A and B are shown apart, each in its own frame.
Chain A
């Protein structure tokens, strides 16, 4: 599947395109199929996202899993600071990245 990601213009937060809006949670990411480029240009022009790009991801039981480790780190947060990730209560969260 193809999913769309970027950063929030004002906060810099990593965000994912849900099909309707942007979410901080990769599990909300929608398969954009071949519409990625069009969505990307529209959303960037509207300043709802900064520096967006399309990535490959795998659909799993827990939702989309980005294909590249860099995007998995983006999706979770720094593996060396579990308290600053999106899953601070999950001690095994970093395993998902690797």
Chain B
């Protein structure tokens, strides 16, 4: 894992003290809320429905056990004993007191963490593949590149006041586990014909009120020019992105309005200029950062044998364990989607336990996924059963990864001041309706994603089944969408038709899953059958 150098630590420590002074001035009345609001937002502190909410950055979703323990400590000491892992691989605390915020940031800084750039019209947390450095299907570890982008984008003076917020994702596999093409810039590390490492750039994706899949604008940027190319993409956006209308200010609108060809032409022109400026990180710095992401000391003699005689354990292994590049090891995903639970929530005790298990079994490393789960990336197979038993005791062993109850849900109207409808109760009721694990497994991979408003923090556009909560004359109403995907087969879900009540939309989901089971052909997932059969057949089943 990357470790702060003296500059990183000084910057973060200085920001804590600066914010402490700003909070003091706000409480003393030297700053109005209008003056203070942009300052607190720069430090990830929002004012939500019930209290202040603090969003803490987890760079590319990677945490050490020490950092995870600190997240548990903050939940216990300053919040109401839990945290909420988000679809941006971050964590949020919902009950923060303004006067505690500087102390929390100081605690975070003590473990090389912060909440900087988790709000505002700047480059947000860089997201990545939660299996980075562990999966066999990647061509390189994307984390060093995500870290370089993090350093480049942190406090970048030119990009601190963009037309709108800006999100990067970096992956290095043809399997997209990071919804890469639904980001403002998606980067996929690739090799060219000469075997050299570089990056494919996708620009102008996103969800929200105008969902778009990012088009590819360049098939190969040499790795050592990646930062310059990203800077060129941002410069064109910063120059021409709309600042007059926040709903049209994201880069996806610019790329769409200019057209991919014209946007790309301007980026290439800027890139040619940038190359003369020598702004790429020195090769030595790339090497220094990469050193932090070397493989842990795997036991090359580790056995691949697994005793699956415990049927519950066998189910969990089958559903939640993914192949590791190192023989004898596995990638374990801890589902934060228990039956009737709140997607992404974990108590301080659960956070502590996951930290302990990572320390004991996963070379001290954890990952947060955009699906609001936690990954232990390097677990020796011979340790899986002991680890699973501890997870199971703590309610952390639902065997439902990628099944219908492994849903994404934004905080919705239960917490969020932007929301129009509650989303968590829907996730809870769906997890009850489809609680039978046999039924879930019969349905197979089914990505269900729920948003409580058009801003789409719950990624409903990318759900095989998506739900969007809307306000219909003061009453919660839910639109059903079908056919989305955030994976390598990215597609945008379409609305089926008129909306439903809370119970009505759950019935409708049951109708479409029943139709899928009836219509599917050998090997088809829900999304495959939907694409083959088409929306009309599903609409007919739902609305008659």
- List chain A positions with a Cβ less than 8 A from chain B: 7, 9-14, 44, 47, 50-51, 67-70, 73-74, 77-81, 84, 98
Main secondary structure of the interface of A (DSSP, over half): loop
**Bound: A80/B342 CA distance, A:** 8
Q: What's the minimum C-beta distance from A38 to chain B, rounded to whole angstroms? A: 18
Whether the Cβ atoms of B29 and A47 lie closer than 8 Å is yes
Q: Which B residues lie at the A interface, using CB under 8 A?
A: 26-27, 29, 33, 47, 49-52, 80, 94-99, 342, 413-415, 417, 419, 422, 424-425, 428, 471, 474-476
Known A-B contacts A10-B98, A68-B474, A80-B414; the reply to A50 vs B33 at CB < 8 A is yes
Residues in B neighbouring A67, C-beta threshold 8 A: 474
- Rounded to whole Å, the gap between the CB of B214 and the closest CB of chain A is 33
B414 and A11 form a contact (CB under 8 A): no
Q: Given A79-B414, A80-B342, A80-B428, verify A12-B474 contact (CB < 8 Å).
A: no
- Alpha-carbon separation in the docked complex, A50 to B23 (Å): 14
Complex contact B474–A69 (CB within 8 A): yes
Q: Could you write out 7 A-B pairs with CB less than 8 Å apart?
A: A44-B33, A51-B47, A69-B471, A70-B419, A77-B50, A78-B424, A79-B422
Q: Are B51 and A12 in contact (CB under 8 A)?
A: yes
Cross-chain contact A11 with B49 (CB below 8 angstroms): no
**Taking A50-B33, A68-B474 as contacts, is the C-beta distance between A12 and B50 under 8 angstroms?**
yes
CA distance A77 to B98 in the complex (A): 19
In the complex the two chains form, is B97's CB within 8 Å of A10's CB?
yes
| Chain A residue nearest to B37 in the complex (CB) | A51
Task: Kindly list 10 other residue pairs between chains A and B, CB separation below 8 angstroms, not including A44-B33, A67-B474.
Answer: A10-B99, A11-B98, A12-B96, A14-B49, A14-B50, A14-B51, A51-B33, A74-B50, A78-B424, A84-B95
A80 lies within 8 A of B425 (CB): yes
Residues of B within 8 A of A12 (CB): 47, 50-52, 95-98
Q: How far is the CB of B338 from chain A (nearest CB, A)?
A: 13
Interchain residue pairs A-B with the least CB separation, the first 3: A12-B51, A78-B414, A12-B52
User: Nearest CB to that of A47 among chain B residues?
Assistant: B29
Tell whether, in the assembled complex, residue A10 and residue B414 are in contact, meaning their CB atoms are under 8 Å apart: no
Contact A73 B49 (CB under 8 A): yes
List chain A residues, Cβ under 8 A from B29.
47
- The complex places the Cα of A78 from the Cα of B345 at a distance, in Å, of 13
Total contacts A to B, CB within 8 angstroms?
70
Most buried by B among A44, A47, A68: A47
Cβ of A79: which chain B residues have Cβ within 8 Å of it? 414, 422, 425
Tell whether, in the assembled complex, residue B51 and residue A69 are in contact, meaning their CB atoms are under 8 Å apart: no
What residues of chain B lie closer than 8 Å to A13, measured between beta carbons? 50-51
Smallest CB-CB separation from B425: which chain A residue? A80
Known pairs A78-B414, A80-B414; A9 contacts B27 (CB<8 A): yes
- Measured between alpha carbons, how far is A84 from B50 in the docked complex, in Å? 10
* Chain B residues in 8 Å Cβ range of A78: 50, 94, 414-415, 424
Chain B residues whose C-beta falls within 8 Å of the C-beta of A84 in the assembled complex: 80, 95
Residues of B within 8 A of A77 (CB): 50
Between B80, B413, B424, B475, the greatest number of chain A beta carbons within 10 A of the residue's beta carbon is seen for B413
A23 to B95, CA, bound (A): 18
Kindly report which residue of chain B lies nearest to residue A80, judged by CB atoms. B424
B52 contact set on A, CB distance < 8 A: 12
Cβ-defined contact, B49 with A70, below 8 A: yes
**Do the beta carbons of B47 and A70 come within 8 Å of each other?**
no
Instruction: Report yes or no: A10 in contact with B476, Cβ–Cβ below 8 A.
Output: no
- Verify B342–A70 contact, CB threshold 8 A: no
Known: A51-B33, A79-B425, A80-B424. A9 touches B98 (CB 8 A): yes
Closest partner residue, chain B, to A74 (CB atom): B49
| CB-CB under 8 A for A11 and B27, given A77-B50, A80-B428 | no
Min Cβ gap A18→B in Å is 19
A84 (CB) vs chain B CBs: closest residue: B80
CB closest chain-B residue, reference A76: B50
In the bound complex, residues from chain A placing their C-beta under 8 Å from that of B413 are 69-70, 73
Interchain CA distance A91-B521 in the complex, whole Å: 45
Measured CB to CB, the closest approach of chain A to B501, in angstroms, equals 10
Query: How long is the Cα–Cα vector from A12 to B96 in the complex, in angstroms?
Result: 7
Closest to B412 in A: A80
Q: How far is the CA of A7 from the CA of B33 in the complex (A)?
A: 12
Question: For A47, what are the chain B residues with a Cβ–Cβ distance below 8 Å?
Answer: 27, 29
